[in-house]
Amino acid sequence: MDFFTFVQLGDASVRMAIPLLLACLAGLFSERAGIFDIGLEGKMLAAAFLSAAVSFASGNVWVGLLAGIGISVALSIIHGLASITFRGNQLISGVAINFFAAGLTVVIAQGWFAQGGRTPSLPKDARFNGLDFPGALTRVRDKMQASPGMQFYSEFVSGHSILVYLGLLTVPLSWWILYRTRFGLRLRAVGEAPEAVDTAGISVVRLRYSAVIICGILCGIAGAYLSTAVQAGFTKDMTANRGFIALAALIFAKWRPWYALGACLLFGLFFAIDNRFQNIQLQVIWIMILLIGSAVAMTVYALRREKIDVLVLGGLSAVLAAVALITWFGTASGEGIGVLAALWETVKVPSQLIQSLPYLFVVIVLAGFVGKAIPPRAGGQPYVKER
């Protein structure tokens, strides 16, 4: 690969990481305040639908963005009512929001537009288009012939929609709020020891509601970004489990904003590889080395940990080893050559394997491959003042 290909891969990684990053920071604010929220997926999906629908109807993408944020905040408040006011089970509330959004968005889209549960394609004025910085090249042919510095500036720095720059800005802003303001200090304290915050005369309920509303705003922007910037409209289940991947990234980042940026860029890289390199060709021997090597490394690591890790990582290792062997013997059988000669044959890497990379990494993260992650101490526990 040449330098321009690397720049394009980095550019795509950032674009794919933005919705994950916004959802990850949304979960960070909520869980730092002691409210577990697995309904990020549902909020993003509802925001994606309403943003696209309102943008199409009004012809104004900013109105669509506000609509997406509004529905996401409304769902967050419902989650807050269930988990803060009525002290219900936070996990059940999150699951209900996911099911609610997955079903209702398709039903309303079908009733509104009658296009199979999707919205019409958005015109250019109803979408977030890329911003070209001064002096940046816009044509691909000109970028390929430009100097490396100009390629980096024109492809990586310039050309993103405003939501990309806004998403990147939320990282230092979140860090500043959480670690440099009184509100952030109290927010972190309420997730660790709400009784101490209450004793100091600070409202635990108000702080937790503030956190879930911030969570709703960020999820709304993430959903609107998917339907009005990445794609030109809403389609069924278009979030593709990004809300759950964001939760995995949050654990990977150990509830820290800057670490969240790194984790989401890593997941974004996998999505970018899927989008830009669907026809990767490698010799069979390299596929064997990558898959068998990964399987052996995970198995050795799992044997040093608990039984659940052995089951999860051992099962994943068996799947990778099976894919490697099927590729090897399938090539030998298909080409009608010997097994050893098949090792040097060049084959196309199965697209299903590339598409599954982000989800395989989620399994590895959740299996504890990144080390011990300790959530906020009061996370998931409703606060009862009488105690």
**Average pLDDT value over all residues in the chain:** 86
Q: Please give the angle made by the CA atoms of 316, 322 and 326, to the nearest 5 degrees.
A: 150
Which residue from 222, 246, 274 is spatially nearest to 366, judged by alpha carbons? Answer: 246
Query: pTM, whole model, 2 decimals?
Result: 0.87
What phi and psi, each to the nearest 5 degrees, are found at residue 108?
A: -65, -40
- pLDDT tens-digit map of 208-228: 999 999 999 999 999 999 999
pLDDT tens for 299-325 read 887 777 777 777 777 887 888 888 888
Per residue in 133-151, pLDDT (tens digit) is 888 888 888 888 888 888 8
Single-letter amino acid code for the residue at 311: L
- pLDDT number for residue 290: 84
State residue 387's pLDDT score: 53
Q: In this structure, what DSSP letter does residue 349 have?
A: P
**What value does the mean pLDDT take over residues 264-277?**
81
Q: In terms of pLDDT, which residue wins out, 80 or 277?
A: 80
pLDDT of residue 1: 61
- Domain definitions of the chain by residue range: 3-277, 281-348
Is the pLDDT at 105 greater than 70, yes or no?
A: yes
Report pLDDT digits (tens) over 5-51: 888 888 888 999 999 999 999 999 999 999 998 999 999 999 999 99
Q: Higher confidence at residue 377 or residue 72?
A: 72
CATH no. of 3-277: 1.10.3470
